[in-house]
Structure 1
């Protein structure tokens, strides 16, 4: 997942400010939102218009977390499926397509 650099001085200060002036978890919420903004932008680049289509693979177990799923757009959540493990044939299909 594309989390921003947690050691960035600007991000640290922003999170500290939010935790102090908004709520004790506002900084972490901001951090999660920055990550999910990047994910949603990436998904949006794959589908450019309403008649376009794409397959988007989110290969990280953290996408199974309810609050992470809730951060995805509704049109993605409706077709989102979760698999505990991938069948070797599934991965072979994508590798074979990429090498052609």
Structure 2
């Protein structure tokens, strides 16, 4: 299932211009394009849009800061995972690092 930009705008209550802006700043890139050039959004894109809107609803002042917040969360997660992997590599017995994640 792929939605054109206008269909996604109508179903979410956003404007086409907002979705175009999200694409321009890299916040929500469509999965594809139609032969005539329309942006096409897959289910994963729609789920990401819902996550973006949820972050904005939680008092993020702008979509750009929501993107920064999501990127920071990914960096923290990757950083803690690499620390965990280094400590597991040093010990004789592997540890279960995932159990401590939230």
TM-score in terms of structure 1 length: 0.32
* Structure number, greater radius of gyration: 2
Give the TM-score, by structure 2 length.
0.32
- Please state which structure has a larger fraction of its residues in strand: 2
